[in-house]
């Protein structure tokens, strides 16, 4: 969450359960709800598809208002996870529990930007005060990258860089479960109305190059302030 | 003589693609046709467009997050990659993401493209290739920002001398 908008970024890989080992697939994870909200989900590809299918089945009037959307996401996420857990308990075919769905909603409630996480169990958490949140298997990496950045003070173009850098680092670090391509969206107020925009492929290249330039500057800072050891 | 005439005849028809391919073909500081990352490609073409008036309008450069960039360069690189003339290798290093190499087909195309360019431009490309490959990224950006400060005004990296 920047000072003039929200950036939502994701990797492009979903992880599916299979007989031998989990398998990966390319998957979109960020979607817009009209012009005023963005949502993303984690879990396997089927869970994300199910959230999207249920939202697509609703008319525009049913998707208006922050409270309405929060209620819908809570119901959908819990509704997807509950039978998965019940089936797992009943069958016990897998050693590890099923991959459960979570969702993150970015939206303006009036003029106030909101980030809400919808947990496995139907509970919700707001992240307006912290200014950022991450879900999915890369969330620890993302949170570690975002920690310490005063995201609420960042202009939107700087927040885009941070969002891109965060996902890129998570993909590079994680042993599995994350992969390219990176997807970046913004939500900001344009002439008193919220507006979602997807960052173009060309602009993502510029973001990637900017991240490389920042890395070179960080190295310069570390190297230039290196003092030689003092002999005692 | 024929080549000289051909070069003179092509002056008004310099293509962005030819410049890009000639840049990738040119020898770098290591004495070989070193592959280039996008920052070095971008900065080479920016310096070329600033320092060679004949090609000033070929790329539209604007101040952006890491200094001067032209989105035309990204478009050209994508097209060269789609045409099988260049390929990229992604490596685990912040400094060298997505370096662009000429393929065998691209090398032949680049040799042909170089023939179409005036000697003065080819010579400038070669000297720029040596320059950008002899510098660390930060050092390169710092020098270019100092020389063309108007294009550094939106940069996330602020350089003070």
ipTM for this model: 0.86
pLDDT given for residue B5 in this prediction: 44
Closest CA to B4 of B150, B111, B119, B98: B119
Render pLDDT for B24-58 as a digit per residue (tens, 0 to 9): 999 999 888 889 999 999 999 999 999 999 898 89
Hey, where are the domains in chain B?
A: 2-152
Nearest to A80 by CA among A41, A115, A28: A41
- Which of B42, B75, B156 faces A158 most closely, judged by CB atoms? B156
Q: Are A212 and A204 in contact (CB under 8 A)?
A: no
Q: Please give the residue that has the higher pLDDT: either B126 or A150.
A: B126
Answer whether A174's CB lies under 8 Å from A210's CB.
no
Percent of chain A with pLDDT over 70: 95
- Residue A231 lies inside a defined structural domain of this protein: no
pLDDT digits (tens, 9 = 90+) for A146-179: 998 888 899 999 999 999 999 999 998 887 788 8
Provide the residue count of chain B.
161
Tell me the C-alpha distance between B86 and A13, whole Å: 26
Please provide the average confidence, as pLDDT, over all residues in chain A: 89
Spell out which chain A residues touch chain B, with contact meaning CB-CB distance below 8 angstroms: 157-158, 161, 172, 202-203, 205-217, 219-220
| Closest Cα in chain A, distance from residue B59 (Å) | 15
- pLDDT tens by residue, A8-34: 999 998 877 777 787 888 889 999 998
d(CA B64, CA B69): 6
- pLDDT for B76: 96
Q: Domain holding A63: CATH number?
A: 3.60.20.10
A1 within a domain of the structure (yes/no): no
Number of structural domains chain A divides into: 1
Q: What is the residue range of A177's domain?
A: 6-222
Would the CB atoms of B156 and A213 count as touching at under 8 Å? yes
Nearest partner of A212 among B36, B34, B81, judged by Cα: B36
**A182 interaction partners in chain B (CB closer than 8 Å):** none
Query: Is A104 within the bounds of a domain?
Result: yes
Residue A227 belongs to a domain? no
Contacts of B37 in chain A (CB under 8 A): 209, 212
* Strand-pair category, A102-109 with A37-42: antiparallel
Residues of A in contact with B94 (CB under 8 A): 211-212, 215-216, 219
């Amino acid at each position: 969450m920047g000072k003039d908008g929200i950036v939502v970024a994701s990797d492009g890989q979903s992880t599916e359960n299979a007989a031998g080992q989990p398998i990966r697939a390319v998957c979109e994870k960020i979607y817009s709800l009209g012009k005023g909200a963005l949502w993303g989900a984690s879990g396997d590809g089927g869970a994300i598809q199910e959230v999207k299918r249920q939202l697509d089945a609703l008319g525009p009037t049913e998707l208006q208002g922050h409270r309405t959307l929060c209620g819908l996401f809570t119901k959908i996420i819990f509704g997807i996870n509950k039978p998965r857990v019940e089936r797992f308990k009943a069958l016990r075919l897998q050693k590890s529990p099923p991959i459960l769905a979570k969702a993150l909603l970015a939206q303006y409630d009036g003029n106030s930007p909101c980030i809400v996480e919808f947990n496995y169990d139907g509970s919700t958490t707001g992240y307006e005060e912290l200014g950022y949140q991450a879900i999915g298997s890369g969330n620890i990496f993302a949170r570690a990258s975002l920690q310490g950045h005063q995201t609420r003070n960042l202009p939107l173009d700087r927040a885009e860089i941070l969002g891109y850098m965060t996902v890129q680092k998570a993909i590079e670090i994680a042993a599995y479960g994350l992969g390219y391509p990176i997807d970046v969206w913004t939500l900001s107020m344009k002439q008193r109305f919220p507006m979602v925009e997807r960052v173009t492929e060309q602009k993502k290249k510029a973001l990637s190059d900017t991240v490389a330039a920042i890395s070179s500057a960080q190295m310069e800072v570390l190297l230039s302030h290196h003092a030689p050891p003092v002999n005692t | 003589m024929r080549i000289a005439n051909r070069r003179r005849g092509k002056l008004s028809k310099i293509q962005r693609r030819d410049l890009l391919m000639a840049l990738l073909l040119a020898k770098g500081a290591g004495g070989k046709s070193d592959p280039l990352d996008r920052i070095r490609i971008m900065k080479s073409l920016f310096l070329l467009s600033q320092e060679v008036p004949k090609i000033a309008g070929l790329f539209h450069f604007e101040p952006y997050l890491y200094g001067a960039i032209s989105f035309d360069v990204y478009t050209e690189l994508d097209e060269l990659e789609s045409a099988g003339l260049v390929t990229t290798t992604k490596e685990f290093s912040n400094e060298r993401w997505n370096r662009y190499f000429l393929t065998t087909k691209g090398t032949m195309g680049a040799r042909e493209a170089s023939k179409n360019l005036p000697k003065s431009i080819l010579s400038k490309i070669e000297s720029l290739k040596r320059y950008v490959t002899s510098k660390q990224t930060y050092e390169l950006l710092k020098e270019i920002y100092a020389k063309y400060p108007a294009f550094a005004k939106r940069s996330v990296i602020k350089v003070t001398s």
